[in-house]
């Protein structure tokens, strides 16, 4: 750090994104991207005039994109906030609804960005241990004096909470915001978005990065009651009112108009997930019942780090979180059936080798 950096960041640890080694071509199963490209409608829409208007600022209201999202979620346009990826929506939520005295609480095993946001903004936080089997104990989130942040399905475990449990947590925390991060909801989960009509303390966060094949376009959104969205809009207009560029906004609109394409991809990915999980179980792996576009697995005989490195040496990238509770496990993105066949073959080689 330079001598100019504010002292409060002296020990800040930034987020570590999945690696992108450039030394060779890998089968990339480490950042939960979709193996399928965006819908052809996205290309058509980008060709069709958007590039020529690039010298003009976008309309910071993003009226049409927000309306399409509102229609898809069954809410009003005033209930939608856009982010440069869902990370930006989460960042604005930590900034808006927490401070030095109002903290945050989330599981000890979850998306690694939550503690980073909390440290960045000087927010006290508690990492609530999951049960031994990585399930959430709902009792841990009843009557907190802190913003509750739950990924549902959770990552990297893939485990879901039923909507009744989410609702019980909402009811038990009427004075604090409950953030439900639904990055992976389209692979078998049920969205809490309709509950935003009933609970003014609920913020649902979703992304185009997974089920909608647009990780490279950076588009996320929040769904909440009008009042919470107004607060978050105040943040957005105080940081970057034009946070979504024209190309991404147009791509997002086109994607929403081709919902069937993406639903079909999700079905294929879920099918591939189940097939791969079955094959891995037959090889002796223990797996959680993942409802994301990834598997979370460990082998009784081979450690997570060892397996990660052996896969990497053979051209298959997966994610290994070297922390106490997850060091034996691997998070493996569900790719195409061909990619998963290659993964299974490689695992077989390693385990028999």
Site for its own copies in 145-184 (CB under 8 A): 175-177
Contact with its own copies (CB under 8 A) among 201, 206, 326, 333 = 201
CB of 233 vs its own copies, minimal distance in Å: 8
12 binds its own copies (CB under 8 A): yes
Nearer Cβ to its own copies (197/281): 197
CB of 168 vs its own copies, minimal distance in Å: 19
Q: How far apart are CA 97 and CA 285, in angstroms?
A: 41
CB of 82 vs its own copies, minimal distance in Å: 12
CB of 242 vs its own copies, minimal distance in Å: 6
Nearer Cβ to its own copies (236/298): 236
Cβ neighbours around 342 below 10 Å, total: 17
Nearer Cβ to its own copies (10/282): 10
331, β-bridge pairs: 296, 319
Q: Which of the 8 DSSP states describes residue 319? A: B
Question: Using CB under 8 A, which of the segments 16-24, 70-78, 148-156, 319-327 binds its own copies?
Answer: 16-24
Nearer Cβ to its own copies (46/277): 46
Contact 227, 76 (CB under 8 A): no
Q: How far apart are CA 266 and CA 276, in angstroms?
A: 15
Tell me if the bond preceding 156 is cis, omega within 30° of 0. Answer: yes
CB of 315 vs its own copies, minimal distance in Å: 17
Q: How far apart are CA 142 and CA 139, in angstroms?
A: 5
Nearer Cβ to its own copies (1/327): 1
Which token pair is 257? 């108009």
Q: How far apart are CA 273 and CA 186, in angstroms?
A: 13
18 binds its own copies (CB under 8 A): yes
CB of 287 vs its own copies, minimal distance in Å: 24
Contact with its own copies (CB under 8 A) among 135, 165, 245, 346 = 245
Nearer Cβ to its own copies (135/268): 268
Contact 189, 183 (CB under 8 A): no
Contact with its own copies (CB under 8 A) among 117, 125, 221, 320 = 117
CB of 130 vs its own copies, minimal distance in Å: 24
Looking only at residues 39 through 98 of this chain, which bind its own copies when binding is defined by CB under 8 A? 42-43, 46-47, 51-61, 84-85, 87-88, 91, 95-98
Tell me if the bond preceding 153 is cis, omega within 30° of 0. Answer: yes
Size of the site for its own copies (CB under 8 A): 87
Q: How far apart are CA 134 and CA 110, in angstroms?
A: 10
251 binds its own copies (CB under 8 A): yes
Contact 27, 202 (CB under 8 A): no
- Phi, psi torsion values for 9, nearest 5 degrees: -100, 10
CB of 103 vs its own copies, minimal distance in Å: 12
Contact 280, 344 (CB under 8 A): yes
239 binds its own copies (CB under 8 A): yes
Tell me if residue 265 falls in helix, strand or coil.
Answer: helix
Contact 330, 304 (CB under 8 A): yes
Contact with its own copies (CB under 8 A) among 215, 310, 342, 351 = 215
């Amino acid at each position: 750090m330079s001598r100019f950096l504010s002292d409060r960041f002296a020990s800040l640890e930034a987020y570590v994104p999945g690696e992108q080694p450039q030394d060779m071509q890998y089968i990339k199963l480490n950042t939960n991207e979709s193996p399928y490209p965006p819908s052809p409608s996205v290309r058509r829409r980008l060709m069709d005039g958007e590039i020529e208007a690039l010298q003009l600022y976008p309309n910071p209201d993003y009226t049409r994109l927000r309306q399409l999202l509102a229609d898809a979620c069954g809410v009003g346009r005033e209930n939608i906030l856009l982010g440069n990826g869902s990370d930006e929506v989460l960042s604005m939520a930590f900034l808006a609804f927490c401070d030095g005295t109002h903290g945050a609480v989330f599981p000890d095993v979850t998306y690694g960005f939550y503690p980073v946001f909390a440290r960045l903004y000087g927010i006290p936080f508690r990492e609530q241990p999951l049960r031994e089997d990585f399930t959430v104990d709902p009792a841990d989130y009843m009557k907190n004096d802190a913003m509750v942040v739950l990924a549902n399905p959770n990552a990297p475990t893939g485990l879901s909470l039923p909507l009744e449990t989410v609702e019980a947590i909402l009811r038990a925390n009427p004075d604090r915001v409950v953030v439900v991060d639904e990055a992976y909801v389209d692979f078998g989960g049920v969205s809490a978005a309709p509950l935003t009509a009933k609970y003014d303390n609920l913020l649902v966060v979703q992304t185009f990065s997974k089920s909608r094949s647009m990780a490279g376009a950076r588009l996320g959104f929040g769904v909440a009651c009008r009042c919470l969205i107004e607060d978050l809009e105040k943040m957005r207009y105080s940081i970057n009112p034009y946070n979504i560029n024209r190309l991404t906004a147009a791509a997002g609109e086109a994607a929403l108009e081709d919902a069937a394409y993406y639903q079909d991809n999700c079905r294929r990915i879920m099918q591939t997930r189940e097939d791969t999980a079955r094959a891995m179980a037959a090889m002796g792996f223990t797996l959680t019942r993942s409802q994301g576009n990834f598997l979370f697995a460990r082998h009784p005989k081979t450690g997570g780090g060892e397996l990660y490195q052996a896969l990497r040496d053979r051209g298959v990238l997966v994610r290994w979180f070297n922390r106490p509770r997850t060091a034996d496990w691997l998070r493996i993105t569900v790719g195409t059936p061909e990619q998963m066949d290659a993964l299974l073959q490689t695992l077989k080689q390693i385990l028999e080798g």
